[in-house]
Chain A
Amino acid sequence: MTENIIELDKVNVKFPLKDKTIHAVKDVSLSIKKGDIFGVVGYSGAGKSTLVRTINLLQKPSSGIVKVLGKEFYKNVDGKEKNISVGDLRKERRNIGMIFQHFNLLNERTVQDNIAFALKHSKLKEKEIINKSIELLDLVGLKEFAKSYPAQLSGGQQQRVAIARALANDPEILISDEATSALDPENTNQILDLLKKINQKLGLTVVLITHEMDAIKRICNNVAIMDSGELIEKGNIMDIFVHSTNPVTRKFIGNSFDAISILNSLNLSKKPDAIVQLTYTSDDIGSPIIVELYKQFGVKANIIYSNIEVLQDKPIGTNLIGIDGNQDSIKKALNYLHESNIKVTEIKEEQ
């Protein structure tokens, strides 16, 4: 078992305002494993930023436990608050890099000095700081811009500098809060791929906050869905995509995996005797199913809908298949399908 690098336990965040209190994060518990790329998705205002900001205590919780890198940063389960010391927090934060939607680079420093600023309290000598800054710029592909000012760079380039800055102190965790939301699709994908590369090359744990499911699909292993301050679902991305029945989750995933809404939109004139949804990865497909169904059970299978999605570079197929034949044969055919590697969901239509 790999260790949990981030553990949140029943974390609550409340903002007391003049006339009301905003309960931005409600009883959220979450464990993130070392080396994971963990996505947190939800609508704007769901509490994603507030939640992840509790990881490096940029946001102090109202209650709960925050444990990062095996150290307890914050604990309040019985009304008594225990905080990590200010000095220790400062040191620990250097183990947790963070990047933001609006890059937040310092405009009055060159690109290289932005990175050097992060290394101010490291043990490195001035010369070593310069070398390391250049090395990091090389990693993000911007070595030739070392002496430029951030305003002279494009959005995508600025975010790369921000990534280099976040990596300056060799952190073990990188938090990305909507880091691609201000970028065009091409830059978005480049930044996401860079995060993935860093994850693989440096073994960094990445926490990716976004309101775009495409970003999650591209690089995340695990995902949590937030809505109105609550964490409504979490798990392996494939399981969530294929099996989640939660309406909010389904809205995010879109309809490509959702049999009922596909059927509704297809508006079939003649309904088959049975409908099944088959979901499979390229590894799962061995035999020609439709032919087998006909040969072995004498049922006629007909593809109603077919789609391929790519999750973390892996194609995942979804087929809706209508089956016609007598009750008994259909039952046997379904058993056969269930025994295969393919994920099979029988669709019972209400409408």
Chain B
Amino acid sequence: MKEWFITHFPNVVQLGWTGDTGWANSIVQTLFMTFWSAIFGGILGLIFGIALVVFDDNGILPNKIIFNIVDKIVSFFRAIPFIILLAFIAPFTQFLVGTQIGTTAALVPLAFGVFPFYARQVQVALESVDSGKIEAAQSIGATNWDLIFGVYVKEARSELVRVSTVTLISLIGLTAMAGAIGAGGLGNTAISYGYNRFASDTTLVATLLVVILVIIIQLIGDFLARKLNHSIKK
């Protein structure tokens, strides 16, 4: 088995497990980037998504000015292709983390790349909450805070898990591109050590690892979404 692997996947073996170019390192880098940019981009996206619903004309605090500002910011960042955003946002990254390259530096463009996408998804998820439920809560004297977290977010939680899963998966796609600014990760391994060196076995293994990661996230997401949904009889 080991023999067979060494013969058929020589480049994979050559990269090794440990070390700067090792598999452990690139897996950890991908997970690190995905996790932290999901946290930052997720919080940002959640805030913007909630704002889009709350300040909407049909929202609980209609405000055209705030809505338009939030809406334009989201649309602006959404319109920038990620590979361009990497360059565009570099000065800001420099200001924030003191460097423009490396895994940590990649978190800034990743968070900004993913948050508008997530904000739109959160907006749609929250808007799916029946306005009658909001009205009923208002009629029992609920505060705006109650309405946002006690009704909108809580009622849409299963849908929020579903869109978070989708976002997380597309975020993994973005981390692959972050290799362009030296962030490492599985995407970088597939391109730099695989494709560019004609080492197709490395590309194959890196791809498989990404696919496995995506499937795991999808399975956990589906499970949670189902578990958190009580709006259908079961």
Residues of A participating in the B interface, judged by any CB pair closer than 8 Å = 56, 58, 90-94, 96-98, 100, 102, 104-109, 117-118, 120-121, 149-152, 162, 165-166, 168-169
For residue A59, which residue of chain B has the nearest CB?
B135
Please indicate the chain B residues that have their CB under 8 angstroms from the CB of A108 in the complex: 154-155, 157-158, 228-231
Pairwise interchain contact B143-A121, C-beta atoms closer than 8 A = yes
Which of A92, A94, A104 lies in contact with B135, CB distance below 8 A?
A: A104
Q: How far is the CA of A128 from the CA of B143 in the complex (A)?
A: 21
- Count of A-B contacts judged by CB separation below 8 Å: 77
- CB atoms of B141 and A58 under 8 A apart: no
* Residues of chain A contacted by B230 (CB below 8 angstroms): 107-108, 149-151
Contact B132 A104 (CB under 8 A): yes
Instruction: Please name all residues of chain A whose beta carbon is closer than 8 Å to the beta carbon of B140 when the two chains form the complex.
Output: 93-94, 97-98, 117-118, 165-166, 168-169
CB distance from B143 to the nearest CB of A (A): 7
Chain B stretch 153-210: residues in CB contact (< 8 A) with chain A: 154-155, 157-158
Closest A residue, CB atoms, query B158: A108
CA distance A137 to B142 in the complex (A): 21
CA distance A151 to B230 in the complex (A): 7
Q: Would A100 and B150 be within 8 Å (CB), given that A90-B141, A106-B155, A108-B155 are in contact?
A: no
Q: A97-B139, A151-B233 are in contact. Are A120 and B146 (CB under 8 A)?
A: yes
Expressed in whole angstroms, the Cα–Cα distance for A44 and B51 within the complex equals: 34
Residues of A within 8 A of B133 (CB): 104-106
Q: Judge whether B232 and A151 touch: CB under 8 Å.
A: yes
Distance A151 CA – B231 CA, assembled complex (angstroms)? 6
Report the nearest B residue to A93, measured CB to CB: B141
Name the A residues within 8 Å of B229 (CB-CB): 108
Please give, as numbers and ranges, the residues of chain A lying within 8 Å of B143 by CB-CB distance.
90, 121
User: Within 8 Å CB of A93, what residues of B?
Assistant: 138-141
In the assembled complex, the CB of B125 is this many whole angstroms from the nearest CB of chain A, namely: 13
B contact set with A: CB distance below 8 Å: 130, 132-133, 135-143, 146, 150-151, 154-155, 157-158, 228-233
**Which of the residues A56, A96, A117, A168 comes within 8 Å of B137, measured between beta carbons?**
A117
Most chain B CB inside 10 Å of its own CB: which residue of A104, A120, A150: A104
Given A100-B136, A102-B132, A106-B133: A121 and B141 within 8 A (CB)?
yes
Q: Can you pick out 7 interface pairs between chain A and chain B where the beta carbons lie within 8 Å of each other?
A: A94-B141, A106-B151, A108-B155, A108-B231, A118-B140, A152-B233, A169-B141
With A100-B132, A151-B231, A152-B233 in contact, is A106–B154 under 8 Å at CB? Answer: yes
| A262–chain B nearest beta-carbon distance, Å | 42
The interface residues of chain A lying within 8 Å CB-to-CB of B232 are 151
Tell me the complex Cα distance, A308–B87, Å.
84
Task: Give B233's nearest chain A residue, CB to CB.
Answer: A151
A-B complex: 7 closest residue pairs judged by Cβ atoms: A104-B136, A107-B231, A98-B139, A104-B132, A149-B230, A94-B141, A118-B140
Given the known interface contacts A106-B154, A108-B155, the answer about A58 and B139 at a Cβ–Cβ threshold of 8 Å is yes
Nearest B residue (CB) for A118: B140
CA–CA, A121 and B146, complex, Å: 10
A91 vs B229: C-alpha distance when bound (angstroms): 32
**Contact residues in A for B130 (Cβ distance below 8 Å):** 102, 104
**Measured between alpha carbons, how far is A49 from B139 in the docked complex, in Å?**
14
